[in-house]
Amino acid sequence: MARRFMSKFAVVVGSVLALAGCSSSEQLAEEQPTQQAANARGCATQELSDAEKTAVQQALAGSTRAQARAAGSVNVNVYWHVINNGTGIANGDLPQTQIDSSVAVLNAAYKNTPFKFTLAGVDRTTHRTWYTCSGGGCESKMKSALRKGGAGDLNIYSNNMGQGLLGWATFPSSYASKPKLDGVVILYSSVPGGSAAPYNQGDTLTHEVGHWFGLYHTFQGGCADPADYVSDTAAEASPAYGCPSGRDTCAGSGMDPVTNFMDYSDDACMNTFSTGQADRMDALTIQYRKI
C-alpha cells in the first residue's frame, strides 16, 4: 500500500527512504530517530497481497450498488489523536487551528467525491514511545488505547514517526480482520503551516485518507494492467516527485497523473481525484465501511 502527500526540502525525523513504493509499517524498527532533511514523499502503507487485491475485486464485482452517491452526501466523523512529547508545537502538540485547517483541506480535496468530514473529537496524549512510533508493537498499543467509533469513522493519529516517513493508512478491506489498527497516521509537521515543506499543506492526510477509502497509488503496478484499478488515471511507471511537467512514463497511456492526490508529488502540485477514483472509493466504502 502506500495513500495519498513552497520550499524545496523538509526537515522531518529519521532517515530518508528511497521509495519507488512503500515498505510495511509492521517491519519498521522502533528506534529514536535523528533530525535529517527529506526530499521525497515517504509512506509506509502496507500493500495488499495479490490474493487480497483479487478478493477486493471479486467483492466489488458482486456489489449491488446502483450508482455513485452524490458529492458530499456521506458524512465521515473524524477523531483526531494528537500524540506529543510535551506541550508546544515543537513537541508535536498541534494547536486546534491546525487540526481545523487539516479537516478543511480534506473537505476541499474531496469536494467532488461523496465524502465530507466532520471533526467529532480531539484528544491529546503525551507518550514518548508513541510519539516516535513508525509501526509495529507501538502502533498496536497506541491504536488499541485510543481508537474510537466503527468502520466508517476516521481515526487520525499525528506524531513524529521518523524513518523519513510522512504517514501510512489501512485499507477498508483490512477492517474486518484488524479493526483496532484501522485509521491513518501522519507526521505532525505535514499539516497546513507545518515545517515539513514541501509536504506541509495538508495533502499527506489527503493522500493517506485516499488509501483509507481504498485507493492505490497511481504508479501501482507500473505500466502493466490493471495498474491502480482505475480506468481514468493514466498508468505510471514510477512515482513523480516535485511537480514535473510533460512526464510520460508509460507509452500509449497518456501523461502521468502528477497532480493526482495518490501520486508522490509535492503538496502544492496535488489537486485531483479522478471520477474513477471517486467511484472506486464510494464502492469500497459501501462494501467494507458500511456508510
Catalytic positions, please? 208
Cα–Cα distance measured from residue 216 to residue 262, given in angstroms and rounded to the nearest whole number: 7
Cα–Cα distance measured from residue 269 to residue 243, given in angstroms and rounded to the nearest whole number: 6
Cα–Cα distance measured from residue 188 to residue 206, given in angstroms and rounded to the nearest whole number: 14
Cα–Cα distance measured from residue 132 to residue 145, given in angstroms and rounded to the nearest whole number: 16
Q: Which residue has the cell 466504502?
A: 285
Q: Which residue has the cell 464502492?
A: 283
Cα–Cα distance measured from residue 9 to residue 98, given in angstroms and rounded to the nearest whole number: 21
Q: Answer yes or no: are the C-beta atoms of 219 and 229 closer than 8 Å.
A: no
Assign 123 to helix, strand or coil: strand
